Structure 1
Amino acid sequence: MTDQKQQLTIWGRANSVNVQKVLWCLAELDVPYRRIDAGMQFGQNDQPEYLAMNPNGRVPTLVDGDYVLWESNSVMRYLCMAYGHSSPIYPQAPKARAAVDRWLDWTLSTLQPVDRPVFWALVRTPPEKRDMVHIQKDVDAEGVVWRVIEAQVADRRFIEGDQFTLADIAIGAFARRWLGVEGVVKPKLANLERWFGDIAQRPAFIRYVAPPMS
């Protein structure tokens, strides 16, 4: 197992929310790895060698020996199944696991589509090129989605109860972006902020997700 772990490589830039999820997961599982910068200013993800691993040209990509896997939520699931058998962050019981899986799917189907335009407009677009009227409309749309989490954590510590899971990682990485953007009007979501304040104290979050957004 040790030799196999040493072969783990993550391709992807550290400021990618999807890479951050995987790095957070690896830290929670205490699995060693090496990371190679790829994407945006680092390039590489448009080269034939990278596209042979990941035809989407996106990050992250996991290389574990001769096994290659892309899609961040699938990578997190794999890491838990391959290296985290004793970890409760991906429950063994079918109903508990399915409950976590639905939130991983939800981040892709519902949360990420409304997060992306807000994040890019407020973090990766120069101030002089921002259409604040249009951005506020996008913020309002994202706020509606975050009310789902506001209700979900109203009576529980974490997304799926008292145990921290992959659901908290997947949603927490996006929550850092939502709560971190400024210059717009966002709804006050006290339960969301309480939950986020809790997970934001975890060492892996502080190291991989909390740094300034870029």
Structure 2
Amino acid sequence: MTKVLGRVTSINVRKVLWALDELGEPYEREDWGLPNRDPRTPEFLALNPNAQVPVLIEDDGSSLWESNGLLVYLAQTRGRLMPEERHKMGLALQWLGWQGTELSTVWGYAVMGLVRGIAGYDDEARISECLKRWTTRMDILEAELAKGKPFIAGDAFSIADIALGLSVHRWYKVPRELKAMPAARAYYERSRSRAAGARWMPDDYG
């Protein structure tokens, strides 16, 4: 059986768990990642030298890491969650890449301070600057979603919507007054209306 190593409070772990649930594939999950279980051990580093979760272990014992890469891998090997039409496939991969390189790279300080409440992340100037940069990225997503597509690549739900749905969930977990983004809000509600979306975008963590 497929196994996922990682804690459910990690947005990157939840990407993989959501995909497996959408695929209807049974799996086991093993807690790894601070503060639950330190991945900087020889056992874990042999699977991922970056000491990061998630790690996916297939039933043949092979392992892979890097959450967005794992989404592509699952879509390709299971034959679902990726558009078949070439341009729509490109859009899904484009927005999946954008989530990893543009969106997720700007929210760190605000998430640590406002969502997770970690000591030392309480500089209001840095929080404000972080939220400003995050809002700029969200404006890009809002403009795309405002074109009227139900999902980022068109009519069909894809792996890109898993990564983006969890990212928008994180945005709405910030306990601050945020810029109104009606298209992103509607997209968020559509994502949470899916059984797996509701499971992996709960109210108690972002």
Answer yes or no: is the 8 Å Cα contact 1:9–1:62 preserved in 2: yes
Q: What is the match of residue 32 of structure 2?
A: 38
Provide the alpha-carbon RMSD of the alignment: 1.6
Alignment match, 2:166: 173
What SS does the corresponding residue of 1:200 show, helix, strand or coil?
helix
Superposed CA offset, 1:109-132 (max 9, x none) = 100111222211112235896222
Shift of 1:96: 2.0
Unpaired runs of 5+ residues, structure 1, are 1-5
The amino acid of 1:79's aligned partner reads L
Aligned ranges 1:67-146 → 2 under 5 Å: 67-83=62-78, 85=79, 87=80, 89-126=81-118, 130-146=122-138
TM-score (norm: length of structure 2) = 0.93
- Looking at structure 1, the residues matched to 122 and 22 of structure 2 have their Cα atoms a distance apart, in angstroms, of 37
Q: Which residue of 1 aligns with 2:144?
A: 152
Determine the structure 2 residue equivalent to 1:188: 180
Moved over 3 A (4+): 126-129
Separation in structure 2 between the aligned mates of residue 180 and residue 55 of structure 1, nearest angstrom: 31
Number of aligned residues: 204
Larger proportion of helix: 1
Partner in structure 2 of residue 63 of structure 1:
57
SS at match of 1:186: coil
Counterpart of 2:105 in 1: which secondary structure? helix
Partner secondary structure for residue 35 of structure 1: strand
Query: Following TM superposition, by how much is the alpha carbon of 1:189 offset from its aligned partner in structure 2, in angstroms?
Result: 0.8
* Alignment check: 8 A CA contact 2:112 2:118 kept: no
Percent of paired sites with the same residue: 31
